[in-house]
Amino acid sequence: MAFSKLKIWLVAATSFTVTFAANNSFNLTPFTIDLSSEIPRLNVLMNNTCLPATALYSGVGPDKGIELNLIAELRNEWPEIFDWETQQAELNQFAQFTSVIEGQTVHFVHEKSKEADAITGCQNVTEQRGTAFDTISNAYFMEQTTKPNDIGFALYDSPVGQLAWIGGKMKLWSDPRAGTPPSVLNNTVILTSVSLYYLTGSFLSSMWIYASNPNGFHTVYLKVPMLFGQYEYNIGLWLQDYVTQVGNLVSYRVHNFGGNFAGLDNPPALFDDIREMGLYFKV
């Protein structure tokens, strides 16, 4: 999900208006998720990956990486409480499509709002995939930017490894109240997210996003309207004065619930943010 994930997300969506206005004839292909065939193999890998019996280094917190009890809990919940078919059926309740945009096949949810005059949005699935975009200048960021193949190949076929790499961050960078309303970010959601990375074989490419965009986080002043949402427990705090310097800031909203994965940790607030964006759409 993203850095000021929301910022980039909103900026991207705002810039998108321009393209959309220039060409609104997308060819949509209906899409249904069907990743069940790889589940037996995933189960075998999950079951057969050994974790240390006890933590070698005691008294260290999550700032040293995912804690043994958490990775063990997630792994153990896999066969106990997690059912891929249920999660897949839930995701497939949303109308999904693919379309080729500038040579790239893009998969998205397209659901019309029940509210009159609302703009349409690309929601949950996209949000979950978005986790691949989290960023702060720390070890994981340097690793993914400089040696994406090392970590990418190491964890490509390791569901437990991906749980450690992705699941740890989903816990650490979220509101401590995660899992209580309005947050829907609980262990089931983490397991579903990691399953999506594993089953679609996208772990390696999600590492390469960083290496492929070495200047992706450089500041270029954006003239298009920029809307900014600050979620209290996000990994960074961007004050309004600072944000004003990087773009045509037309809205700055502070949410006192939620973290880096706003779409999971505070979906109602993110929906409001996106709806506000609709005010700037010129179609």
Residue 64 is classified by DSSP as G
CB of 183 to ligand NAG, least distance (A): 9
What sections of the chain are H helices per DSSP? 5-22, 39-48, 68-81, 84-91, 124-129, 139-146, 148-156, 159-162, 168-172, 187-199, 203-212, 240-244, 262-265, 267-278
Taking the least distance from each CB to ligand NAG, the nearer of 138 and 180 is 180
CB of 230 to ligand NAG, least distance (A): 22
Residue 121 is classified by DSSP as B
Taking the least distance from each CB to ligand NAG, the nearer of 25 and 215 is 25
Taking the least distance from each CB to ligand NAG, the nearer of 168 and 247 is 168
- β-bridge partners, 31: 96
Taking the least distance from each CB to ligand NAG, the nearer of 23 and 54 is 23
Residues making contact with ligand NAG (CB under 6 A): 23, 25, 27, 43-44, 47, 79, 81, 123-124, 184, 186-188, 267
CB of 23 to ligand NAG, least distance (A): 4
Taking the least distance from each CB to ligand NAG, the nearer of 59 and 103 is 103
CB of 260 to ligand NAG, least distance (A): 17
Among candidates 203, 120, 196, 131, which has minimal Cα distance to 161?
203
* Residue showing tokens 């209290």: 232
**Calpha distance 88→14 (Å, rounded):** 30
CB of 219 to ligand NAG, least distance (A): 28
